Chains A and B, each alone.
Chain A
Amino acid sequence: MEKTLKRYFLVFVAPTLIAFAFAFIVPFVMGIYLSFCKFKTITDAQFIGFQNYVRIFGDSDFLNALWFTVRFSVLSILTINVFAFLLALALTRKIKGTNLFRTVFFMPNLIGGIVLGYIWQQIINAVLLQYETTLVANAAYGFWGLVLIMNWQMIGYMMIIYIAGLQNVPSDVLEAAQIDGANGWQTLIRVKLPLVMPSITICLFLTVSNSFKLFDQNLALTAGAPGKRTAMLALDIYNTFYGRSGYEGVGQAKAVLFFIIVAIIALTQLAATRRREVEA
């Protein structure tokens, strides 16, 4: 059996491997190479060394976008996970219609980001109309709008993961805790939380990477307005690449830098939460 598997290893893996190489590895390597080039279209690139990376910091766009993204991410990661966990707790109790509620909360996740952004833009603008202002009048509106959309969209998904985690907490452990006289709060903090740590790892990873890479919602909701003050990193990269003549290489360099930042943050977070995972 083992031998046969080994013999056919290539046959089974090759299609996926080739697809992966073409769709991911080749563009990725090309992208890194292009970040060291001056180019208009990717077919006429000319190597220029680290110049693009220096030019990233020629104006404050990238740093502003980074700061905005960090603020947005921290806030939305916290709120999404807290709310998702609370919902999961509520919906793992034996109340009527939990399945219906779970589906309802999950629904927003099925709507595409662009559509969602435009819908919420209409909603928020309709509310702001009362105060004779619009979403793009103040950067703070855009910020809170984004946090709101992101919460609305992501909470359901994270909730499902937390529900799965909570349902996997063995009932004998819970009963033991009850017999030992632990109250609800103590059970939650000392028993349930450590046991759903794997779910927390996954949810944190998903929210961190999704918040940092957010693009569609950002584009549809404010497109960075007013000015560029609500532009997040992905949008800034897009604008640099397409919106400024002669800055294609700089946009590419920003993208590489962006990749490194997201990779470092996500890996640190994974390592940190992994260490806290325990077996029941």
Chain B
Amino acid sequence: MKKRILSVLLCLAMTVGILTGCSKGDNSGTQNSNETSNQESQSQSDSGGNQGASQQKGRVYYLSFKPESDRVWQDLAAQYTQETGVPVKVVTAASNTYEQTLMSEIANAEAPTLFQVNGPIGYESWKDYCADLKDTKLYSWLLDKDLAITGEDGGVYAIPYVVEGYGIIYNEAIMDKYFEMDGAKVADMDDIKNFATLKSVVEDMQAKKDKLGIKGVFASTSLTPGEDWRWQTHLANIPVYYEYTDKGITDTDALEFTYAKNFKNIFDLYLNNSITKPGLLGNKSVDDSMAEFALGQVAMVQNGNWAWSQIAGIEGNTVKEDDVGFLPIYTGVEGEENQGLCVGTENYFCINSKASKEDQEASIAFVEWLFSSPTGKRAVVNDLGMIAPFNTFADEEKPNDPLAREVLDDMEDEDTEVIPWYFTSFPSIRFKDNFGAALLEYAAGSKDWEDVTKQVVDDWAAEKAAVQ
């Protein structure tokens, strides 16, 4: 009897194994969908009867890119459906799986009608699916028309909907503590105007870290594959910007990486004055770094204004809103005193040209609602914290979190030279991944800096050639 029970148990266990094995394919992403059913919305609009929605309603299916703002998008979708009766479905791809998700979703009968590309390179691979948006109101609202992506025929195929900026985020409270100490290298944050000063301050702070009550000046240089975009994309933008500027270009088939040593300057500073030993960085994620900053364990971290919600949302957060500031990423280039933050966009809306006419129009209407109606604008500014590059936003409708404010200040200040996001011209994801892997090996001490630069140059040329 005992044996029988055991064998039954074993059998059960095996079946469970088989069943879980089968479902494995689905757990690749945390996809949350929220589709308000058509009928329900129909009845709501009949009773509400506002906005005068037409008889021929399309549907909207937005494939969203940012898991952290999924909830906001779901709420927005429900709100829009309530107001207009047009069903809106929002699905969020799990982090780092946007391209995969889009690829499989767009092949479906119920394909996304609204999706996004990350710039010219992303547009290149999705151009067959992008509808012309030249005649939309959305395009007419765009403050800087050059930001949109145009095709060879002059059509407008992708419109940026958010402007973001990044630099070195610092904790003013910790900095002030340092400035008050004897022998501080400078007296004020404003005195840090170039790499040499930054370096001396950082190294001095690292030496006095126990007195300052921190575990390191910089948060972990997260180099786990998939978590290394702050370096292989964002930081790499700066040397590429200076090289492009020298040559007067905005894209190239052959990068020389002339400012490689400047990249190394700041990257070494990050590695050597960090909370984490360089050998252990392959195990750190962006979330880890932001948590270290939020908990006051470090004084600085390189990230963008989108990180504010992350900092504010971490439990036990000790950083006050007034204490957060932005420093441009200085790398030791001549004349960098006027350098500002890196400001640009990597989020462009596209309308699926293979969707039905009604669906396309419904999707455009949804986006226009988002950036012009009071409800939509409030959500964009307050909940998503986005700096939207459209003229429909009045001055008092700009986001007011500390980091976004600094980005706006930098953009408006005529003396500072804002660095555009040239990394949208980086050849491919593969290039970035390889670069990140090389940086990881460099940090671990198993690769020379010469090999890293050589790999970047070679990979750039190879990938630019392969994509065409």
The CA-CA distance from A114 to B27 in the complex, in Å, is 10
Q: Say whether B24 contacts A134, CB under 8 Å.
A: no
* Chain A residue contacts of B27, Cβ below 8 A: 114
A225 located at the interface, meaning its Cβ lies under 8 Å from any Cβ of chain B in the complex = yes
Q: Say whether A41 contacts B103, CB under 8 Å.
A: yes
Known: A106-B10, A109-B17, A136-B440. 10 other contacts (CB 8 A): A40-B125, A137-B441, A137-B446, A226-B282, A226-B446, A228-B437, A242-B99, A243-B429, A244-B430, A245-B125
CB distance from A50 to the nearest CB of B (A): 18
Q: Say whether B280 contacts A129, CB under 8 Å.
A: yes
Q: Give 19 A-B contacts (CB < 8 Å), ordered by A residue.
A: A40-B125, A40-B126, A41-B104, A99-B6, A103-B6, A103-B10, A109-B17, A110-B13, A132-B280, A133-B444, A134-B279, A137-B282, A137-B441, A223-B225, A227-B437, A227-B438, A242-B100, A243-B429, A246-B125
Q: Say whether A245 contacts B282, CB under 8 Å.
A: no
A49 located at the interface, meaning its Cβ lies under 8 Å from any Cβ of chain B in the complex = no
For window 170-209 of B, CB contacts with A under 8 Å fall at none
Known: A132-B277, A134-B282, A245-B125. A223 touches B226 (CB 8 A): yes
B143 located at the interface, meaning its Cβ lies under 8 Å from any Cβ of chain A in the complex = no
Q: Most chain-A CB neighbours within 10 Å: which of B16, B21, B224, B430? A: B430
Q: Say whether A137 contacts B24, CB under 8 Å.
A: no
Q: Say whether A226 contacts B24, CB under 8 Å.
A: no
Residue of B nearest to A112 (CB): B20
Residue of A nearest to B125 (CB): A245
**Scoring A residues 122 to 151 as 1 if CB is less than 8 Å from chain B, else 0, what string do you get?**
000100010011111110000000000000
The residue from A137, A216, A242, A246 contacting B440, defined by CB atoms under 8 A apart: A137
The CA-CA distance from A58 to B465 in the complex, in Å, is 12
CB distance from B411 to the nearest CB of A (A): 31
Q: Say whether B107 contacts A138, CB under 8 Å.
A: no
Known: A110-B13, A245-B467. A138 touches B224 (CB 8 A): no
B246 located at the interface, meaning its Cβ lies under 8 Å from any Cβ of chain A in the complex = no
The CA-CA distance from A248 to B126 in the complex, in Å, is 13
A198 located at the interface, meaning its Cβ lies under 8 Å from any Cβ of chain B in the complex = no
The CA-CA distance from A99 to B3 in the complex, in Å, is 9
A249 located at the interface, meaning its Cβ lies under 8 Å from any Cβ of chain B in the complex = no
The residue from B124, B226, B283, B467 contacting A134, defined by CB atoms under 8 A apart: B283
For window 172-231 of A, CB contacts with B under 8 Å fall at 216, 223-228
Q: Say whether A41 contacts B107, CB under 8 Å.
A: yes
Pick the 5 closest A-B CB pairs, nearest first.
Answer: A245-B125, A41-B107, A134-B282, A136-B282, A137-B444
B309 located at the interface, meaning its Cβ lies under 8 Å from any Cβ of chain A in the complex = no
Q: Say whether B100 contacts A133, CB under 8 Å.
A: no
A279 located at the interface, meaning its Cβ lies under 8 Å from any Cβ of chain B in the complex = no
For window 76-101 of A, CB contacts with B under 8 Å fall at 99
The CA-CA distance from A193 to B169 in the complex, in Å, is 67
B162 located at the interface, meaning its Cβ lies under 8 Å from any Cβ of chain A in the complex = no
Q: Say whether A227 contacts B441, CB under 8 Å.
A: yes
Residue of A nearest to B462 (CB): A59
Q: Most chain-A CB neighbours within 10 Å: which of B3, B124, B226, B441? A: B441
CB distance from B440 to the nearest CB of A (A): 6
* Chain B residue contacts of A2, Cβ below 8 A: none
Q: Say whether A226 contacts B226, CB under 8 Å.
A: no
The CA-CA distance from A242 to B279 in the complex, in Å, is 30
B428 located at the interface, meaning its Cβ lies under 8 Å from any Cβ of chain A in the complex = yes
B372 located at the interface, meaning its Cβ lies under 8 Å from any Cβ of chain A in the complex = no
B128 located at the interface, meaning its Cβ lies under 8 Å from any Cβ of chain A in the complex = yes
* Chain B residue contacts of A265, Cβ below 8 A: none
**Scoring B residues 440 to 457 as 1 if CB is less than 8 Å from chain A, else 0, what string do you get?**
110010100000000000
